Structure 1
């Protein structure tokens, strides 16, 4: 691992209305010594976070990626651990200011690993409770499952398809998955 690396920051807010939150992150990242800062204004649940991908591509062996809080970097603990693993493979350390975690130290690596173990345990417990609740609801005749969104819109799918609209555009207009459109259309042709 290279001794000299640069400090690179990443900041994110969920909406453009959170200017003060972004400004505070940028201030803290600069105060931490970041020479380059990437930031974006979009929800973590967005399918694409272009600036996150840019910073992950940008950092090199010996660099340190700094974020103010873990939820500014990752969608979940599993996502955080995946990002940390990607950084480690590149020889990049991760520093989370709010938690005083630095994966460049043995203690920082331990804390991140413990965080992941606890999150995995909590997820398993939650899934177990969910399965038990579903079983109980089924036994009592109260469980119907999720309403099939695409099936409910099948008439609209057919109408648009007959009007010459392609499957991708149908999916966009009706806000359903493209594969759902193909399933509905396939069911008609069978």
Structure 2
């Protein structure tokens, strides 16, 4: 089945150019929202309903996503379902070796960008530390004691899962795992 995805950034923008670009679709999905993230109803509906051997068609890659990481995630979801992607303006078809190669290059660029971002973050933290502006999290700022400790034990014994506990205590799940480990070592839970 051929599924044509169309996206314009606002309700006021016209769909004509994309509608005229491809007329052989079995189903057309239209989102009138920004491509800054993947939270688009018709995109999610299309991805959810993909079947093996379906073909997803877009006029251009920026219609699918404006973010390289999201684009790769969307393409991965398409491929994981056994479907393929066809991009009209670049003549890319992931059913072909050239199309697969193109996506590999995009993936490599995205990975490089991730590494550069991480490097810049570490450099920024190092500079801030040298200037005395970054000291990390306050020691003990998420320690479990007093009334919070008693509440945690009660909720833990009642079977709350890690996600529920992290929401209740407004800390990360990794903090919940750390608390659990410490309290087990102390034989308090």
TM-score by length of 2: 0.63
Q: Give the drift of 1:119.
A: 1.1
**Which of 134, 137, 141 is the equivalent residue of 2:128?**
137
Distance 1:95 1:72 in 2: 12
Q: What's the secondary structure of 1:16's corresponding residue?
A: coil
In structure 2, the partner of 1:162 is: none
In structure 1, the partner of 2:8 is: 13
Distance 1:27 1:144 in 2: 57
In structure 2, the partner of 1:123 is: 114
Higher helix share: 1
In structure 2, the partner of 1:50 is: 41
Matched, 1:65 2:56: yes
Distance 1:43 1:63 in 2: 25
**Which of 12, 20, 24 is the equivalent residue of 2:17?**
24
Kept in 2: contact 1:101–1:112 (CA 8 A): no
Gaps of 5+ in 1: 1-5, 146-178, 184-190
Deviations 1:32-88 (A, max 9, x none): x32321011112346631101211233322221011222221352222222222222
Q: What's the secondary structure of 2:51's corresponding residue?
A: coil
Distance 1:131 1:137 in 2: 10
1:87 and 1:132, CA in 2 relative to 1: closer, same or farther beyond 3 A? Answer: same
Distance 1:108 1:16 in 2: 32
Matched, 1:103 2:98: no
Distance 1:80 1:99 in 2: 15
TM-score by length of 1: 0.63
Gaps of 5+ in 2: 137-165, 171-189
Q: What's the secondary structure of 2:107's corresponding residue?
A: helix
1:94 and 1:47, CA in 2 relative to 1: closer, same or farther beyond 3 A? Answer: closer
